[in-house]
Amino acid sequence: MEQTVLSEVLQDNVEQLKQVFERNSDCIFQSIMIAGRFPAMITYFDNTCDTKELNRSVITPLHRMQQIRQVNMDDLRNVIDLSHMKTIQNLDEAVQNILSGNPVLLTDQVQGGLVFSLAQWEQRGIEDPMAENVIRGPREGFTESVGVNISMVRRRLKTSDFKTEECTIGTMTNTKVVVAYSDSLSHPTIREELKKRLQKIKIDKLIESGELEELIEDQPYSPFPTIIASERPDVITAAITEGRIAIFTDGTPFVLVVPSTMNSFFQSPEDFNQRLLIGSFIRFLRYAFYFISLLAPATYVALLSFHQEMIPTLLLLNIASSRESVPLPAVVEALLMEIMFEGLREAGVRLPKQIGAAISIVGALVIGQASISAGLVTAPMVVIVAITGIASFMVPHYAEGIAPRLLRFPLMIMAGTMGLLGLMLGTIAVVIHLCSLRSFGVPYLVPVRAKDLKDTVIRLPIWSLDERPSTAVPEEITRQAPHQKPE
Amino acid sequence: MGQKEQISGLQMALLMYTAILATAVLLIPSISASFAMQDMWISPLWTVFVGATLVFGMYRLHLKFPGENLIQYIPRIVGRVPGVVMTMGLILVQVLFTGVIVREYSDFVIGAYLNKTPDIMIMFVMIAVCAYCVYQGIEVMGRCAIFFVPIFIFLIFIVSVLLIPEFDVTNFMPVLGNGILPSMKGSFVIHEWISEFVLISFLFPFLGKKEKALKWGMISLGAVIFSMVIVNSVGLLLFGSIAARLNYPVMAASRYISYGQFVEHVESVVLTIWVTGTFLKITVFYYVSVISISHFLKLKNYRTLIFPVGLWIIVLAKWTGHSALDVSIGISTTLVVIAMVIFYLFPMLLVVIAEMRFRKPKEGAR
């Protein structure tokens, strides 16, 4: 694209700018007179910049300039009370800056223009992270501003080793995407691969990091996420110290982390904030309930349809008597209830807060109580569905937790047709799929080294975790000095 | 991302371990009991010689032809025409054995609890899952092995431990009462499984660390023989001389497990976990068959062969025999001979020829 150089004649520049911003009612062209003699023009979009600061530090000093024969760039820079400004030479730069919220000053008889970094949008303050709650740990979550988010991580990582590289994606949105990593720890090959994948993206809009995730991940046709999205600065900080790479996207509080393996989705920052034994126990519970959320309904269906002998006799009698009045076979009953539950859950997310409570009452009463007394489903099935529902919320990262929701249905059908054998073959297929997944080249399910198992189903004490997880492919594996167990 | 597929020594050892043991666990106790009686637990030990020579021979060939498998170097050892004949023989037997394993699996499942399900259905679902794994390649197979084999070993372990109250140690007596001959006879059939170690030749080229190849191969062999001794001992301790009359002694044994009126009737669970082992076994055989054929036909990508070979395996599985009885008679007679000749004597012959023809490791073999 040919670049139009800004001319020395103010009138020409202004006309060109006005042509670009034709029919933009919120674009402001403010004429001023420098030192009361030299015409100049400040252009910006209303409500995108700090006008108070603009008046105080730019316009007022310019007005008050005295005793000059002619204006030049150096004089202007000296007189203006701002730390962030830069000189630009061509029209495109000017347009781009104005669009980003930075006012541009063009002066008659001066080559080029001045840009002031005064962009300021209305934005949300720092609040609790909504999707990743912890009992003990920092309370702040990322916001929609990429600058603020990076500053939150930088506050925790006071080292020059922490690097941030910026690029823009989206021809219309020009979304700022920042790749942040530790220079000495993160693996150069993965960094290059990531940059290559980012450069390949040619789309018009990038609004949320979910779109970015789909465009750069290894296997998009998988129910399992291979990239972590977190809105917690402490999670991102920890990931960077392990040698992983974070991807910040402007306009969303969710920051991506690569490479991410299955295990890292089960780690909550809280595990290391809680006491050792409790943390380990909770970690173990998470894995156990993950299996429950995947397998519970299918196992129940298999036992009820094929392996009644495995159910203890008394329980079997109870189930049999409750099933007496139910016309549906177990597998249909399970599918029905699970779909109902999924519907309720989705409705619960979408409903306005005021009537959310109503839905939960309706859900509990109608699905739970009324359908049992109406003889549509059995009470044990409701218990199973409820347990499954709770279990899927145990995983700290929502994206990983919803994968079993999808896989439950084929497994239930397998269990309903071939019993435990079908269930097992279905599970094997899921495991094969997990084994075949990679996150930026790192195997997703099975770690390469046995040492990586120290921080998986249970977590060992901090002093025994002398090495960074090799699943993050760090350049330097040693994390801390050995033998730090308190005496 | 583009680089060559690799597995670790442990993954190779685990793949071979299940590739041998999955069906052996079920069938070996009753077959060896019928020859060796109370000495059946000694029988697996006699297979050490065949197993060790086979693994060592394959390792020697691997050193001479690094990065290649049996099918690739047969023609270079014996020449083109005899090579083609031997390769075709090997491939046919590999596919046949895959079929037999699938048949053993379906017979067992139908006999144990899905009595009314058509066997074609049971075979088809299993082959579909295995085909998916074969499609994903050797790396995924290796990782699946890491995931499943511990579960499988845990199964053997837990069944053995839970059965301890039922054990009768006097079943061991008299040790070697009739000399060593019966136990050697009992080991005859076990050689059928041990000779399947020839498949390790197809895994060696994928090893990341070449120097560990022999070590892990031998560890795998040792683990297999040790596990067979354990399984035979459990069968013997539990059933004594009637072990020979039961088709699947381990399965029958698991019916004995009963604790606190809650852990009862676990045979379905045992079967379910056993399926993971069988799955790996079929996958390894299936994979080896497929890559053998693709090397034989000099195809670039083996994946196109997965579907036709899968169908072929099912056909062979059906064709193996009219009934489960037919198959089990075949396993302890004809198939032993076929396995010994094709899986053991042929490869050992190759080793001898190769040792004589290529004294020094050939440089830049391609």
Whether A471 maps to a domain, the answer reads no
Is it the case that residue A409 has pLDDT exceeding 90? yes
- Are A249 and A283 in the same domain? no
Query: Does A448 reach chain B within 8 Å, measured CB to CB?
Result: yes
- Closest C-alpha to B283, from B138, B150, B152: B138
Whether A5 maps to a domain, the answer reads no
Interface touch B272/A421, C-beta < 8 Å: yes
Specify whether the CB–CB gap between B295 and B71 falls below 8 A. Answer: yes
Chain B residues closer than 8 Å to A421 by CB? 109, 114, 122, 271-272, 275
State the Cα–Cα distance between residues B41 and B226, nearest whole angstrom.
Answer: 10
**pLDDT score for B177:** 74
Candidates A418, A424, A445; nearest CB to B143: A445
- Residues B268-300: pLDDT tens digits? 777 877 889 999 999 999 999 999 999 899 888
Confidence of residue A164 (pLDDT cuts 50, 70, 90): very high
Query: Does B148 reach chain A within 8 Å, measured CB to CB?
Result: yes
Interface touch A309/B122, C-beta < 8 Å: no
Q: Which residue of B has its CA nearest to A441?
A: B1
How many other CB atoms are found less than 10 A from the CB of residue B324? 17
Domain span at A366: 272-442
Query: Does A429 reach chain B within 8 Å, measured CB to CB?
Result: yes
Domain boundary among A98, A116, A134: A116
Query: Does A315 reach chain B within 8 Å, measured CB to CB?
Result: no
Chain B residues closer than 8 Å to A445 by CB? 143, 147
Shortest Cα distance, chain B CAs vs residue A392, angstroms: 22
Instruction: Compute CA distances A339 → A342, B96, B186, whole Å.
Output: 5, 44, 56
Convert B6-35 to b/e letters by CB count within 10 Å (16 or more is b).
ebbbbbbbbbbbbbbbbbbbbbbbbbbbbb
Whether A436 maps to a domain, the answer reads yes
- Closest C-alpha to B314, from B106, B170, B162: B106
Candidates A424, A431, A443; nearest CB to B272: A424
SS (HEC) of chain A? CCCCECCCCHHHHHHHHHHHCCCCCCEEEEEEEECCCEEEEEEEECCCECHHHHHHHHHHHHHHCCCCCCCCHHHHHHHCCCCCEEEECEHHHHHHHHHCCCCEEEECCCCCEEEECCECCCCCCCCCCCCCCCCCCCCCCCCCCHHHHHHHHHHHCCCCCEEEEEEEECCCCCEEEEEEEECCCCCHHHHHHHHHHHHHCCCCCCCCHHHHHHHHCCCCCCCCCCCEEECCHHHHHHHHHCCCEEEEECCCCCEEEECCCHHHHHCCHHHHCCCHHHHHHHHHHHHHHHHHHHHHHHHHHHHHHCCHHHCCHHHHHHHHHHHCCCCCCHHHHHHHHHHHHHHHHHHHHHCCHHHHHHHHHHHHHHHHHHHHHCCCCCHHHHHHHHHHHHHCCCCCCHHHHHHHHHHHHHHHHHHHHHHHHHHHHHHHHHHHHHHHCEECCEECCCCCCHHHHHECCCECCHHHCCECCHHHCCCCCECCCCCCCCC
Domains of chain B: 9-357 (1.20.1740.10)
Specify whether the CB–CB gap between A222 and A399 falls below 8 A. Answer: no
**pLDDT score for B363:** 53
Tokens read off for A55? 């008046």
Whether A291 maps to a domain, the answer reads yes
Cβ neighbours of residue B29 closer than 8 Å, sequence gap 6 or more: B40, B231, B232, B234, B235, B236, B243, B246, B249, B250
Query: Does B147 reach chain A within 8 Å, measured CB to CB?
Result: yes
Q: Which residue of B has its CA nearest to A302?
A: B268
Query: Does A310 reach chain B within 8 Å, measured CB to CB?
Result: yes
Query: Does B259 reach chain A within 8 Å, measured CB to CB?
Result: no
Whether A462 maps to a domain, the answer reads no
Interface touch B113/A306, C-beta < 8 Å: yes
Query: Does A170 reach chain B within 8 Å, measured CB to CB?
Result: no
Whether A216 maps to a domain, the answer reads yes
Confidence of residue A131 (pLDDT cuts 50, 70, 90): confident
Shortest Cα distance, chain B CAs vs residue A428, angstroms: 7
Whether A304 maps to a domain, the answer reads yes
**pLDDT score for B366:** 44
A residues 403-422 lying closer than 8 A (beta carbon) to B: 418-422
Candidates B129, B144, B264; nearest CB to A425: B129
Domain boundary among A240, A260, A280: A260
- Are A248 and A292 in the same domain? no
Q: Of A46-50, A60-64, B197-201, which one has max mean pLDDT?
A: B197-201
Mean pLDDT for the stretch of residues B3-12: 83
Query: Does A435 reach chain B within 8 Å, measured CB to CB?
Result: yes
- Residues B194-234: pLDDT tens digits? 999 999 999 988 888 888 889 999 999 999 999 999 888 88
Interface touch B136/A193, C-beta < 8 Å: no
Domain boundary among A237, A260, A283: A260
**pLDDT score for B220:** 93
Convert B267-285 to b/e letters by CB count within 10 Å (16 or more is b).
bbbbbbbbbbbbbbbbbbb
Interface touch A448/B8, C-beta < 8 Å: yes
Is it the case that residue B126 has pLDDT exceeding 60? yes
How many other CB atoms are found less than 10 A from the CB of residue B187? 26
Interface touch A435/B147, C-beta < 8 Å: yes
- Residues B32-88: pLDDT tens digits? 888 877 888 888 888 899 999 999 999 988 888 888 888 888 888 888 888 899 899
Interface touch A435/B143, C-beta < 8 Å: yes
- Are A80 and A150 in the same domain? no
Best of A421, A451, A470 to mutate (most B CBs within 10 Å, chain B) = A421
Query: Does B115 reach chain A within 8 Å, measured CB to CB?
Result: no
Is it the case that residue A1 has pLDDT exceeding 60? no
Confidence of residue A252 (pLDDT cuts 50, 70, 90): very high
- Are A351 and A400 in the same domain? yes
Interface touch A312/B113, C-beta < 8 Å: no
Candidates A307, A312, A425; nearest CB to B268: A307
Query: Does A428 reach chain B within 8 Å, measured CB to CB?
Result: yes
Whether A473 maps to a domain, the answer reads no
Query: Does A436 reach chain B within 8 Å, measured CB to CB?
Result: yes
Specify whether the CB–CB gap between A197 and A230 falls below 8 A. Answer: no
**Cα A160 vs. chain centroid, distance in angstroms?**
25
- Are A253 and A376 in the same domain? no
Decide which of B361 and B329 is more confident. B329
Candidates A419, A423, A429; nearest CB to B114: A419
Best of A304, A435, A448 to mutate (most B CBs within 10 Å, chain B) = A435
How many other CB atoms are found less than 10 A from the CB of residue A141? 22
State the Cα–Cα distance between residues A391 and A296, nearest whole angstrom.
Answer: 10
- Are A252 and A319 in the same domain? no
Candidates B147, B261, B275; nearest CB to A421: B275
Specify whether the CB–CB gap between A240 and A162 falls below 8 A. Answer: yes
Mean pLDDT for the stretch of residues B8-20: 91
Mean pLDDT for the stretch of residues B90-108: 91
Interface touch A193/B113, C-beta < 8 Å: no
Task: Name the percent of chain B lying above pLDDT 90.
Answer: 27
| Torsion over CA: A310, A314, A320, A323 (sign) | negative
Interface touch A425/B125, C-beta < 8 Å: yes
Chain A residues closer than 8 Å to B127 by CB? none
- Are A391 and A325 in the same domain? yes
Is it the case that residue B244 has pLDDT exceeding 60? yes
- Are A226 and A110 in the same domain? no
- Are A151 and A107 in the same domain? no
- Are A360 and A436 in the same domain? yes
Query: Does B275 reach chain A within 8 Å, measured CB to CB?
Result: yes
**pLDDT score for B3:** 55
Shortest Cα distance, chain A CAs vs residue B360, angstroms: 35
- Are A246 and A304 in the same domain? no
- Residues A435-472: pLDDT tens digits? 999 898 888 887 777 778 888 888 888 888 888 888 88
Give the count of domains, chain A.
3
- Are A173 and A42 in the same domain? no
- Residues A21-36: pLDDT tens digits? 888 888 888 888 887 7
Tokens read off for B2? 């583009």
- The mean predicted confidence, pLDDT, of chain A is 87
Q: Which residue of B has its CA nearest to A419?
A: B114
Confidence of residue B313 (pLDDT cuts 50, 70, 90): very high
